[in-house]
Amino acid sequence: MNWNLARRAEKMNPSVIREILKVTERPGIISFAGGLPSPKTFPVAEFAEACARVLKDDGPGALQYAASEGYGPLREMVAAQLPWSVDPQQVLITTGSQQGLDLVAKVLIDEGSRVLVETPTYLGALQAFMPMEPKVVGVDSDDEGIVVDDLPRKAGSGADKARFLYLLPNFQNPTGRTMTEARRAALSARAAELGVPIAEDNPYGDLWFDAPPAAPLTARNPDGCVYLGSFSKVLAPGLRLGFIVAPKALHPKLLQAKQAADLHSPGFNQRMVAEVMKDGFLDRHVPTIRALYKSQRDAMLAALSREMKGLDVQWNTPAGGMFLWARLPEGMDAVQLLPHAVERNVAFVPGAAFYAQDGDARTLRLSFVTASVDEINTGVAALAAAIREQLARQTPQRLAA
């Protein structure tokens, strides 16, 4: 049988990096690669209680088909916790915020549509947008995110006008960087002026270390932004729950795309999460995640300072979230380094994968939240050794060339 695949499917190819990273599931590998929250932060006991209560109070209701919009009380809790005025009717519960990206793509992207992203950006968003076949264009970005003055050059016009600008303002994946208040204000104004809507993805915003980040871009222009949130980082990813807050122009379309995609997100899980959250649990729980992740970030920063001494390796100091961004010495390539690091039982994600165009081959993403402090120390030392070894190998090659 000759299956005739869709054009988009021809472009879906297994990533070389993913293949290498499969070995990171091997016991003994210290992984800075995954975007996995620390399992220590999962409120297992609270979930166990919530499951029992949900099934006891209304088991048949929790297990039946449910509304595509999501579970009413959960939508209300989401609306209430956001720092701008949100009508619960604007909230759409999604199967993880990854699904939010799929729905936004379906509702806003035609084949060839211009879509703007940060440089670099979240790889999963590029994957979610891809089936709709957009033309993804990277906007210049610095340590504070999008460079506002590059936006007019990239916004396009007429039929080629950007459908939206996708960004993660807080503790970005992959770089860990955060937009300042001034940058947000300037970007919000410029995007509105250019008529470019913003898709604001904020899975990490609650995970700040010393001070909360500035207000979301959506709070500044709710009709010009669609906002994506997640329960994966503050409760647990294995329930696959996130949400979209959308303006009236988009909500009904997103809802219909949602219905076609999976009818609704699991009602049982939505009730569990609402049950866990109902008495202000997050206000007690999230500070413990912040404290843990901050101490892990500090451990990684200390290990990097110690182990990378004498190497021209650069890294940043994220103010929250899960990731740190590093850059190898000139001439090195993180994709080439990866198998050697894995030989030394440490893994990371090469940064080039996160760029819409012209990836910086020297960059890499390091997660500081999944490994323990001991593992961070061992892993960073192993990474430094792999870098030293690669540099030593490269030098004679260069001399020979």
Residues 8-27 that bind a copy of itself (CB under 8 A): 8-9, 12-14
Asked whether the beta carbons of 257 and 226 are under 8 A apart, the reply is no
Q: What is the DSSP code string of 60-103?
A: HHHHS---TT--HHHHHHHHHHSSS---GGGEEEESHHHHHHHH
Strands 323-327 and 114-117: unpaired
Closest to a copy of itself by CB, 10 vs 330, is: 10
Closest to a copy of itself by CB, 246 vs 337, is: 246
Q: What residues form DSSP beta bridges with 244? A: 92, 228
- How long, in residues, is the chain? 401
Q: How far is the CB of 102 from a copy of itself (least distance, A)?
A: 5
Q: How far is the CB of 389 from a copy of itself (least distance, A)?
A: 31
Selected binder of a copy of itself within 249, 343, 374, 395 (CB under 8 A) = 249
Closest to a copy of itself by CB, 6 vs 291, is: 6
Closest to a copy of itself by CB, 10 vs 279, is: 10
Q: Would you count residue 257 as binding a copy of itself (CB under 8 A)?
A: yes
DSSP state, residue 140: P
Closest to a copy of itself by CB, 232 vs 390, is: 232
Among positions 88-117, residues that touch a copy of itself (CB under 8 A) are: 95-96, 98-99, 102, 106-111, 113
Q: How far is the CB of 190 from a copy of itself (least distance, A)?
A: 13
Selected binder of a copy of itself within 137, 155, 165, 239 (CB under 8 A) = 239
Number of residues that bind a copy of itself (CB under 8 A): 84
Q: Is 354 exposed, middle or buried (0-12, 13-18, 19+ CB in 10 A)?
A: buried
Among positions 53-92, residues that touch a copy of itself (CB under 8 A) are: 55-56, 59-66
Pick from 219, 223, 206: nearest CA to 171:
206
Among positions 125-154, residues that touch a copy of itself (CB under 8 A) are: 127-128, 130-132
Among positions 201-220, residues that touch a copy of itself (CB under 8 A) are: none
Phi, psi of 315 (to 5 degrees): -155, 165
Tell the residue number behind the tokens 């990854």, with chain if given.
98
Locate 275 and state its tokens: 């049950």
Q: Can you tell me the distance from the alpha carbon of 394 to that of 333, in angstroms, rounded to the nearest whole number?
A: 11
Q: Would you count residue 349 as binding a copy of itself (CB under 8 A)?
A: no
Closest to a copy of itself by CB, 95 vs 377, is: 95
- Cis amide bond preceding 83, omega within 30: no
Selected binder of a copy of itself within 124, 212, 329, 331 (CB under 8 A) = 124
DSSP state, residue 277: H
Pick from 81, 87, 109: nearest CA to 202:
81
Among positions 160-189, residues that touch a copy of itself (CB under 8 A) are: 161, 163
Q: How many CB atoms lie within 10 A of CB 375?
A: 18
Closest to a copy of itself by CB, 109 vs 301, is: 109
Closest to a copy of itself by CB, 57 vs 343, is: 57
Asked whether the beta carbons of 169 and 122 are under 8 A apart, the reply is no
Q: How far is the CB of 150 from a copy of itself (least distance, A)?
A: 21
Selected binder of a copy of itself within 70, 267, 320, 351 (CB under 8 A) = 267
Selected binder of a copy of itself within 182, 189, 260, 291 (CB under 8 A) = 260
Q: Is 101 exposed, middle or buried (0-12, 13-18, 19+ CB in 10 A)?
A: buried
Q: Would you count residue 51 as binding a copy of itself (CB under 8 A)?
A: yes
